[in-house]
A = this chain, B = another copy of it.
Amino acid sequence: MKLATLKNGSRDGRLVVVSRDLTRAVDAAGIAPTLQAALDHWARCEAGLLQLAQQLEAGTASGAFAFDPAQAMAPLPRAHQFVDASAFLNHGNIMEQAFNLTVKRPEGVPILVQRQADDFAGASDDFRFRSEDDNADYEGEFGVIVDDLPMGSTPERCEQAIRLVVLLNDVSMRRFVGPEMQMGFGFINAKPATVFAPVAVTPDELGPAWRDGRIHLDMRVSRNGELVGQPNGGEMDWRFGELLAHLAYNRNLRAGTVLGTGTVSNREAERVGSACLAEVRALETLAHGQPRTPWLRDGERMRFEALDDAGRSVFGAVDFRMVLA
C-alpha cells in the first residue's frame, strides 16, 4: 500500500491512497482525514486503506484521479517526533578520517539525534535558505514511521511496529554542524526543514528489498540532472528495530514517530558515490588534500529517488530547487 498527503490548505493536508505505479490516487477521507489520524488508529484504519488500494489497482476505485506529486506535501507534513540516526558508520568513519574528528561513542551505542518535526517540506517545494555561506548540503536517507511502542520494547517488537517506509533529504547547513556538535546538544541551525518524497509505503511494497530490518534499495542522488551517487541502504550498521529499541529504553514511542537512517553510505563509496556533499568533500580531501566539489548554490536542483528491481520509482522523487530566501 502506498499513501500520500495532498495539499488542501490545511496544516496536515488530506490523505490519499496512491497506486503502485504512482499514476493514480483516491481520497481516503472516509477512513482517515490525515496520515497522522490513520497512524493514531492504524488497527482500525489499515483494512479500509488496503481495500482502497486494491480497488485502485483493480481500476474499480470510485473517484480515482491522476496523482500529481507536485501537489504532495510530506506524507506527514508534521509529526510528533523525528529522530535521525547516523546508522551508516562508514559515513562517520570517512568524516572522522578526513577532518581528524573523534566522536566519543560508547561501543554498541547507535548515534541518534532528536530533530524538529513541526514543518516538513514537500518533495517539489522550493527550499528557501538564508545564505550560501552556510554551506548548504543534502543527505539522502531512508526512514520508517512506527506505531505505538511501549517503554522497553525489544528490537523484534519495534520492528513489527514499523508501518511505513519513507525517503527523505535531510538538508544540512554544514557551517553549523561542527560548532553545534562541539557544544554537545545536537543540531539547531545545522538542520533546517527536512524534505520528504511524496509517497510513504508499507514495508511489503519493498518486496525482497525489505529484509534484515534494513532497506536494500539504492539511494539515487542527482545534482542538476547528473547522477552523483547511488549507495545502497543495505549496509546500515543497525537494524531499524535495534535503533528503535535504544530510543524506547526508558520511554514510550508514540504513533507517527519518524526515524531516519542518516545519510546512506557504502564502503565502496569510490565506486557508488555518496548521498551527501560532506562525504564527497571528505573523500576528496583524503585523496587530494582539499575538497573540490562546492556546496549547494542558489538555484541548484536536487533529486533523490529509489527504484525497484524493475526500475519503477518506489516513493516518487524528492526533486526541488534551492532558492535563497
| A79 contacts across to B, CB distance below 8 A | 80
CB distance from A83 to the nearest CB of B (A): 7
Say whether B185 contacts A78, CB under 8 Å: no
Chain A 250-265, CB-CB to B under 8 Å as 1, else 0, gives 1111111100000000
Say whether B325 contacts A192, CB under 8 Å: no
Say whether A246 contacts B188, CB under 8 Å: yes
| A183 contacts across to B, CB distance below 8 A | 103-105, 109, 111, 184
| A246 contacts across to B, CB distance below 8 A | 188-189
Chain B residue with minimal CB distance to A185? B113
Say whether A130 contacts B114, CB under 8 Å: no
CB distance from A58 to the nearest CB of B (A): 34
Say whether A189 contacts B250, CB under 8 Å: yes
CB distance from A272 to the nearest CB of B (A): 26
Chain B residue with minimal CB distance to A182? B104
Check if A151 is an interface residue, CB within 8 A of chain B: yes
Copies of this chain assembled into the complex: 2
Say whether B192 contacts A250, CB under 8 Å: yes
Within 8 A of B (CB), among A98-118: 103-106, 109, 111-118
CB distance from A277 to the nearest CB of B (A): 17
| A116 contacts across to B, CB distance below 8 A | 80-81, 83, 114, 251
Check if A193 is an interface residue, CB within 8 A of chain B: yes
Chain A 231-272, CB-CB to B under 8 Å as 1, else 0, gives 000000000000000110111111111000000000000000
Check if A134 is an interface residue, CB within 8 A of chain B: yes
Check if A173 is an interface residue, CB within 8 A of chain B: yes
| A112 contacts across to B, CB distance below 8 A | 185, 188
Check if A128 is an interface residue, CB within 8 A of chain B: yes
Known pairs A80-B119, A114-B114, A119-B253. 8 more at Cβ < 8 A?
A: A11-B254, A81-B116, A81-B118, A104-B182, A106-B179, A113-B188, A129-B250, A186-B186
